[in-house]
Amino acid sequence: MSFTLDPQVAQALAPIAAAMAGATPPPAGDVAARRTALEALIAHTDAAQPTPDDVTITDFEMATADGASILLRWYTRRDTPARPGPAALYLHGGGMILGHVGLFDGSVSRYVAASGTPILSVDYRRAPEHPHPVPVEDAYAALLWLHEHAASLGVDPARIGVFGDSAGGGLAAAVAILARDRSGPAIARQILLMPMLDDRTLTPDPHLAPFVLWSWDDNRTGWQALLGHSAGGPGTPAYAAPARVADPAGLPPAYIEVGQLDIFRDEDLTYALRLSQAGVPVEFHLHPGVPHEFEGIAHASDVARRVIADRVRVLASL
């Protein structure tokens, strides 16, 4: 029996599929075309959902070790108690090559409104203009910043999680490895949504090919932008591709989810298994009938509601 899309997800995806019928996807390596198309799609799907009116947004600037300045955006619900509480460091998706903090204002605000957990979103620099290790070092510096400013933000440093989707999920996993290896700040939990973990995921799977929203050409483009010609080779560090970590022991407890029709399925399954075998507590969800980032387009589907409810639950539990 072959794979099929969840019927509600298929219905939501149909107009997009019809609009794209006959269009030629950009070739591998074309970053500019992907930025134009995918950032427009993210903005369109986000605008289809309401933005909460009870979330306050405050911007900060963080100086990096190499002299740059990046935006950190702090989202908090207006009724957040004054006592120190949890927080999450959020790293957005975009295949390492696209996206910015403002593009995800709506989705981050919805997580904060529903969970009550404040979130610090990081406008990390992206490849190919800023290849590895710039994105992960930006993310790690933001974790340090959040710990250093915890008291003024009303945050308990022992209750800070790292949270990201797709490329952001990969960066969140990499930040957890960096924090362990550098004896850095404690991380309460790593929340990894369909994370991009392995630069070796480059060969098409014919069972998944009819359903993918992030393709193998897209993936090759992202990894080569980040790593250059070494992508997929033997020398990739775990701080770039967390699937390469030699020993996962001592990493923070993990929440990991992925769709069964996502090209990241196998690398995420394997990472969850390796964490578990190393004694790391893991909650793992494999959602049948759904591709990568489906919940943005099919946000009214039953499976998207279940997925979002799980994410909110985990954020609230920090």
pLDDT digits 0-9 by tens, 86-114: 999 999 999 999 999 999 999 999 999 99
Q: Which residues pair with 193 in a beta bridge?
A: 165, 257
Q: Are strands 155-165 and 254-259 parallel, antiparallel or unpaired?
A: unpaired
Q: Respond yes or no: is residue 262 known to be catalytic.
A: yes
Q: Is the pLDDT of residue 24 over 90?
A: no
Q: What are phi and psi of 156, to 5 degrees?
A: -85, 115
Which pLDDT score is estimated for 63?
96
% helix, strand, coil for the chain, step of 5:
40, 20, 40
Indicate whether 1 pLDDT > 80. Answer: no
Count of beta carbons in the 10 Å neighbourhood of residue 142: 26
DSSP H stretches of helix in the chain: 7-20, 31-47, 105-115, 134-148, 150-153, 167-181, 216-227, 265-277, 294-297, 302-316
CA triple 42-46-47, angle to 5 deg: 120
Q: Extract the tokens encoding 309.
A: 């409810």
Model confidence pLDDT, tens digit, residues 141-165: 999 999 999 999 999 999 999 999 9
- Domains in the chain (CATH in brackets) are 7-17+28-316 (3.40.50.1820)
Quickly tell me which residue has 């759904």 as its tokens: 290
CA 94 and chain centroid, separation = 8
Q: Where does the pLDDT of residue 280 fall: very low under 50, low under 70, confident under 90, or very high at 90 and above?
A: very high
CA atoms within 13 A on the CB side of 107: 25
User: Does the pLDDT value for residue 22 go beyond 80?
Assistant: no
Does residue 166 carry a catalytic annotation? yes
Structure tokens at 285: 């969800």
SS3 label, residue 242 = helix
Q: How confident is the model at residue 17 (pLDDT cuts 50, 70, 90)?
A: confident
Cβ contact 112:90 at 8 Å: no
pLDDT at 19 exceeding the cut of 90: no
Q: Which residues contact 7 (CB under 8 A, 6 or more apart)?
A: none
Q: How far apart are CA 141 and CA 124, in angstroms?
A: 10
Beta-bridged to residue 119, according to DSSP, are 75, 88
| 174-226 per-position pLDDT tens digit | 999 999 999 999 999 999 999 999 999 999 999 999 999 999 999 999 999 99
| Rounded Cα gap, residues 92 and 70, in angstroms | 14
Amino acid 18: pLDDT = 85
pLDDT at 16 over 90: no
Average pLDDT, the chain: 96
pLDDT digits 0-9 by tens, 229-273: 999 999 999 999 999 999 999 999 999 999 999 999 999 999 999
pTM attached to this predicted model? 0.97
CA distance 306 to 96: 27
User: From the candidates 107, 109, 115, 166, which is the catalytic residue?
Assistant: 166
Question: Which entry of 199, 218, 262, 268 is annotated as an active-site residue?
Answer: 262
The one catalytic residue in 147, 287, 292, 299 is 292
* Cα–Cα distance, 40 to 57 (Å, whole number): 23
pLDDT digits (tens, 9 = 90+) for 57-84: 999 999 998 999 999 999 999 998 888 9
Q: What's the confidence (pLDDT) of residue 20?
A: 78
